[in-house]
Structure 1
Amino acid sequence: MDLTEFDARVEELRVKSAASQANYGFALIDGRVASDDEIAEIERRMGVTLPTAYKAFMRSYGGGMFGFVDLLPIVGEPDGREDDLLTVNDREFPDRSFVAVAPVGTGDYWAFPVVEGRCRDEVWFCFHDGGEPEAVAAGFLEFVVSHGLKS
C-alpha cells in the first residue's frame, strides 16, 4: 500500500475527525507532523534508518491520535511532558533491536524490527514482560489501517 491508496482509505476518518472537532472539540486525527530535517535528525540520534512509508506518514499525518491508535510523535512537546520516539526507544529498546512507534496501552509496544541499523517495514507486537515479539503487519500503513481504522 502506498500513501495515495492509504489517503483514499482514510477519507471517511478525516470526515469523522472534522465533525468530531466541530461538535465535541477533539479530532480523531490529531498528530504532530515532522519535517524532513526532524526525521533526519531523529534517525541520526537513534542510529537507525526508518521505513520510507513511516516517514511519509509522519510528514503527512504525524504522531498522535489516528483513529484508534496513538502513534509516538517524532518530536515531543517542548515541555517534555509527552513521550516521543527518542525518549521511548532510549528507555525501552536502547540496543535498537526494535524501534517502538506506538504504545499498546499495557506497557507493550508496536515496533519495527531493526537489522543492521535499518528498520524493516513490518510492525511487530513487543511484550513488556519478555514474551517473544510477534509480527502483526507487513508494513506501517497496513498496521495503521488495521489498528487505527479497526478494519
Structure 2
Amino acid sequence: MDLAEFEALAEPLRQKSAETRSTYGFALIEGQTASADEIANLELDMAVTFPAKYKTFMMRFGGGTFGYVELFPIVATPGTYDDLATINDSEFPDRSFLAVAPVGTGDYWGFPVIDGRCLDEVWCHYHDVDDDDLVAADFLEFIAEYGLKSCADRALERRK
C-alpha cells in the first residue's frame, strides 16, 4: 500500500476526528508529528534505521491516538513518558525490536531490527513468550488494519 492509497482510506477518520474535536473536545487523530530532522536525529541516537513508510507516516500523521491504535510519538511530550525512545530504552535496550505501539496487554507492535535496520514488516512482540507474530507486511498496512478498523470490524471480516 502506498501513501496515497492509505490517505484515501484514512479520510473518513480524519473527518470524524475533526467532528469529535469540535463537538466533544478530543480528536481521533492526535497528530503529534515529527520533522525529517527529528526522525533522523532519533535514528542516530537509537542507532536504528526506521522503515521509510513509518517515517513518512510519522511526518504526515504523527504519534498519539490514530483511530484504534496509540502510537508512541517520535518527540517526547512534556509530562509524558510514552515516547518512542523512552519505551524502547526501557523495554528493548539491545535494539533487537523497535516498539511503536502498545497492544494493551504488556505486548507491543513494532519492527524486528537486524544489524541496526528495522524490517518493513510489523510484528506483535509478546512480553511473556518468545514467539512473535507477523501482523502486516508494512507499517501502512498495519495502521490501516489496526488503526482504521475496530476489533469488531476485524472479527466480522474474519467470519465472512
Normalising by structure 1, we get a TM-score of 0.96
**Displacement of 1:82:** 3.0
2:122 matched to which residue of 1?
123
- TM alignment of 1:36-51, pairs within 5 A: 36-51=36-51
Secondary structure of 2:48's counterpart equals coil
AA paired with 1:119? C
Contact 1:31 1:73 survives alignment (8 Å): no
> Separation in 1 of the partners of 2:69 and 2:78?
23
Q: 2: distance between equivalents of 1:114 and 1:138?
A: 15
**Shift in Å, 1:68:** 0.2
Q: Deviations over 1:112-146 (max 9, x none)?
A: 01111110110000111133111100000000000
In 2, Cα distance between equivalents of 1:82 and 1:31: 17
Identity between Structure 1 and Structure 2 (%): 61
- 3-state SS of the aligned residue for 1:50? coil
The aligned amino acid for 2:122 is: V
Cα distance in structure 2, aligned partners of 1:3 and 1:37? 20
Equivalent-residue separation in structure 2 for 1:93 and 1:33 (angstroms):
23
SS at match of 2:124: strand
CA deviation map 1:3-55 (0-9, x unaligned): 11111110110111111111111010112100111101110011010000000
Q: Is 1:63 matched with 2:47?
A: no
Structure 1, unpaired ranges of 5+: none
Distance in 2 between residues matched to 1:71 and 1:105, nearest whole Å: 12
Structure 1 segments, 4+ long, off by >3 Å, are none
Between the two proteins, the alignment pairs up a number of residues equal to: 150
1:5-20 equivalences in 2 (<5 Å)? 5-20=5-20
SS at match of 2:40: helix
Structure 1 vs Structure 2 CA RMSD: 1.0
Aligned-partner residue type, residue 148 of structure 2 = L
User: Which amino acid is 1:2 matched to?
Assistant: D
C-alpha contact (below 8 Å) 1:112/1:120 kept by paired residues: yes
TM superposition shift of 1:78: 2.9
1:92 aligns with 2:96: no
TM-score by length of 2: 0.91
Question: 1:76 corresponds to which residue?
Answer: 76
